[in-house]
Amino acid sequence: MDADREFPVRPKPAMVDGLLLLNKPAGMTSNQALQKVKRLLKAKKAGHTGSLDPAATGMLPLCFGEATKICAYLLEADKTYRVTARLGERTDTADADGVVTETAPIPEMTAEDWQAVIAAFKGEIMQVPPMYSALKKDGKRLYELARQGQVVERDARPVTIHSIELLESTSTRLVLTVSCSKGTYIRTLVEDIAEAAGTLAHTSKLHRETVGAFRSEDMLDMSGAEAAAIDGPGALRERLLPADVALASWPACEVDDSDVERFCGGQAVSCDATGDGLTKVYDSERTFLGIGQMRSDGAVLPKRIFHRRQAGE
């Protein structure tokens, strides 16, 4: 080996903070997508919110560094999807990755007929989670049991369908947009709609368009992430959004600069607002300090503190 030969120095993982809205490609699990982007960013700490099925595409918020502290709040966010349903066929996974287990005739229905069926699913409904899901039963993931050929009892859970719109209907498929609460299984919704119409169906395509207040135009494809990282992680890090963008609809309050250290140290301090819910907390320079619990006496109690990194950290 040539002792004088120079080898490129690989950047070490760093404490990278921020959010990246990935347009997850099909054929990749949410965790696989996260780990790939984490490597591209050379980030130490990462997490994602709201898993997408491997076959699904669309918005997957990836959180890095301090932004992982808002993951739990993003899980509560409403979501919108564009879904294509294949009529007349049920699969074991309720999507196109599964094996067809049953077929049924498809009734002749107009778009108006389908709209009448779909209208019954608006509002709060009860939904039985699918066997191919990450929910646990007696300590085991349901999909693990399903792969073993087991079917276990699952309790129905309330979910809310805020809106559902029929975009297209043919003799063999439906295309819908759905806005829904957390915990909604679109695959199950498709099966239930088909059952109400007297047939079967599975989800052939699923694309998540929005999560909470995030905009679809801010998403980055995996190919775009790879291209941005060709010359190193710096260019890709510039695409990260600040953590508080995820809480755009939340109220905000400001604390005096003299109280910043006390707040960041876990103490309740006075602020310029009153209330009784969660709020974003900033200093006078609009630096995001964290999430606080408002009190009726005009104080805010720290719930999640965001570390203010110094140069070189």
CA-CA distance, 74 to 214, in Å (whole number)? Answer: 10
pLDDT of res. 135: 73
Provide the CATH topology of domain 18-76+214-244: Pseudouridine synthase (3.30.2350)
pLDDT of res. 311: 43
Locate the domains of the chain by residue range. 18-76+214-244, 79-211, 250-305
CA-CA distance, 75 to 155, in Å (whole number)? Answer: 21
Cβ neighbourhood burial of 6 (10 Å; 0-12, 13-18, 19+): exposed
Neighbours of 96 (CB within 10 A): 17
Does 252 score more than 50 pLDDT? yes
At residue 66 the predicted structure's pLDDT band, cuts being 50, 70 and 90, is: very high
- Supply φ then ψ for residue 259, to 5 degrees: -105, 0
At residue 8 the predicted structure's pLDDT band, cuts being 50, 70 and 90, is: low
Does 202 score more than 50 pLDDT? yes
Contacts of 258 (CB under 8 A, 6+ apart): none
Model's pTM, two decimal places?
0.87
CATH class, range 250-305: mainly beta
Contacts of 186 (CB under 8 A, 6+ apart): 81, 83, 178, 180, 203, 206
pLDDT of res. 276: 84
CA-CA distance, 53 to 210, in Å (whole number)? Answer: 16
CA dihedral 243, 247, 248, 249 (to 10 degrees): 180
At residue 173 the predicted structure's pLDDT band, cuts being 50, 70 and 90, is: very high
pLDDT of res. 7: 45
Least Cα distance to 194 among 46, 85, 77, 43 occurs for 85
List pLDDT tens digits, range 272-286. Answer: 887 789 999 999 999
> Average pLDDT, stretch 181-197?
95
List pLDDT tens digits, range 205-242. Answer: 999 999 988 888 889 999 999 999 998 889 999 999 99
> Average pLDDT, stretch 165-194?
96
> Average pLDDT, stretch 67-72?
90
pLDDT of res. 309: 58
CA-CA distance, 95 to 83, in Å (whole number)? Answer: 11
CATH class, range 79-211: alpha beta
Mean pLDDT over the full length of the chain? 89
∠ CA 135-180-210, nearest 5°, is 100
List pLDDT tens digits, range 86-135. Answer: 999 999 999 998 999 999 999 999 999 999 999 999 999 999 988 777 77
pLDDT of res. 4: 52
CA-CA distance, 156 to 135, in Å (whole number)? Answer: 13
Hey, do 18-76+214-244 and 79-211 end up sharing a CATH topology, with the first three levels equal?
yes
2, 4, 53, 155: the catalytic one is 53
Query: Are 188 and 129 contacting, i.e. CB atoms less than 8 angstroms apart?
Result: yes
53 has catalytic annotation: yes
**Whole-Å CA distances, 30 to 33, 231, 247:** 5, 25, 22
Query: Are 25 and 222 contacting, i.e. CB atoms less than 8 angstroms apart?
Result: yes
Strand partners, 301: 293
Element (H, E) at 145: helix 142-147
pLDDT of res. 5: 52
pLDDT of res. 312: 45
Alpha helices in 155-259 (DSSP H): 186-196, 222-228, 233-237
- Secondary structure string (H, E, C) spanning 269-298: EECCCCCCCEEEEECCCCCEEEEEEECCCC
pLDDT of res. 1: 45
